[in-house]
Amino acid sequence: MSKKKIKTALISVFDKTGLEPLINILVDQGVELYSTGGTEKFIRNLGYDVNTVEDLTGYPAILGGRVKTLHPKVFGGILNRSQVESDQSELQEFEIPALDLIVVDLYPFEKTIAGNATESEIIEKIDIGGIALIRAAAKNFNDVFCISDKEDYTSFIQIFKSFDGAPDFDTRKEFAVKAFHTSSHYDSAIFNYFDIREDRLKLSVGDSQVLRYGENPHQKGRFFGSLDELLEQIHGKAISYNNLLDIDSAVNLILEFYDGNPAFGILKHNNACGFAVRDRLSAAYADALAADPVSAFGGVLICNKRLDLETAKAIHELFCEVVIAPDYEDKALVLLKQKKNRILLIQKETSLPPRTIRTCLNGYLVQDKDTKTDQKEDLQTVTKLLPTASEAEDLIFASKICKHTKSNTIILAKNQQLLASGTGQTSRVDALHQSINKAKSFGFILNKAVMASDAFFPFPDCVEIADNEGIKAVIQPGGSIKDQNSISYCDEHEMTMVFTGVRHFKH
């Protein structure tokens, strides 16, 4: 398709950042400018002539500025087709100038709702004229160039120079696609703010980054979202698709322990292979590593306190993909950065989305995030024997880890240390056997350990197996029609068992 010389431009923006260089080059190339309100004043303050939209339309801005550009003389200038003779005749008849370039942004709706604005203030930030101008210009990309984002000013200037003021069809279409993205994202944000129903889903994510590949090298991968709002990468190679899945699991797990004593977790394939809470971070790391030093190789490490030099020295001896902490001592950073590919992240204080969304078949599954954390007051002792204070602490500790481990799962813990976990098994008995065998393989003694299950026991087999290993305290949701069988076994063998009433499946 042919190039199209830009002879006229309508510029109307809320945010004037970066606008001056764009104005300068347009004026330098003899482009006739039209504008409104604050943008018109901005252009005049630069010393340039500019036509007002009010003079073009014969109408002033009305309704407190709500209506400025909504007029046939504006939209006729945008939507006319240069190759349609009747369109051009009507432009001449009604004295409408063709508009070749539209530079428009939108009222900052998302920024407004993120603050403490009232609903009336939020409503006033719903852009009408701007969104209409963007859609009209993007629709008529065959004749009109549309800039809908100030981040594109620099690239447009380069395009304008390289095409001698006449961008080609492909470039106009590329910017039109960006404009439609801008308008659709804006409308989705407005809809999601006002929508209170749960039977409709509209997703629009403006930011994204290309990943090296997806889950496997033959798969393409991309992350959609503003990762830097949650994590700051201060060192290392680019974060991969699988890294992000492990980081997601690690961040969600550590949040269960964020305000408590020093806690350290080691994760592999989205599950904790080591976790401990201690008085010192270095001790927490040492005991987390002891749970499974084999799986820790190439894992993701996370803690809830400033990472000190002592802990960094221990970490430095392990090959790990990622280290996450709320902060680092300077000397700890110097040491950890000696491995050029080691990813070092700072976890910022921010909230995570309240819902989870995943593809399923030809649609999406949406659910509330599992924000329920079992607390001591939630524990209902169903056996004759009550848990001791230390057992109750370990039961809560184990339950938190259990919540963030793939089902079916069994967690074994003692003295605020993960001993082993059975993860993602097709039966709860298999998960228990896996955790017992793993704990023993690393030299742990299970006597007086506790056991956590993500769902109820339909039979007493798991409590019997646990009892035979010296495990005397159990936490589970309860809810089986055969709960009494497990309760009776515990009573007969001096075990204590508590119900939480909340299942924590994770698939």
- Determine which one of 139, 150, 372, 448 is catalytic: 139
Return the SS3 of 213.
coil
Phi-psi region of 63 (alpha: psi -120 to 50; beta: other; left: phi over 0): left
Residue 487 pairs in a beta bridge with none
392, two tokens: 């109750």
Cα Rg, the chain, nearest whole Å: 31
User: Where does residue 359 rank: exposed (0-12), middle (13-18), buried (19+ CB within 10 A)?
Assistant: exposed
Tell me if residue 74 falls in helix, strand or coil. Answer: helix
Q: Is 39 exposed, middle or buried (0-12, 13-18, 19+ CB in 10 A)?
A: buried
Tell me the DSSP string of 442-471: TT---TT-EEEESS--SSTHHHHHHHHTT-
Residue of 269, 316, 440, 448 marked catalytic: 269
Q: How far is CA 265 from the centre of its chain?
A: 21
Question: Is there a catalytic annotation at residue 237?
Answer: no
493 is catalytic: no
Burial of residue 333 (CB within 10 Å: 0-12, 13-18, 19+) is middle
- Please report which helix (H) or strand (E) contains residue 204, including its range: none
By annotation, the residues acting in catalysis are: 139, 269
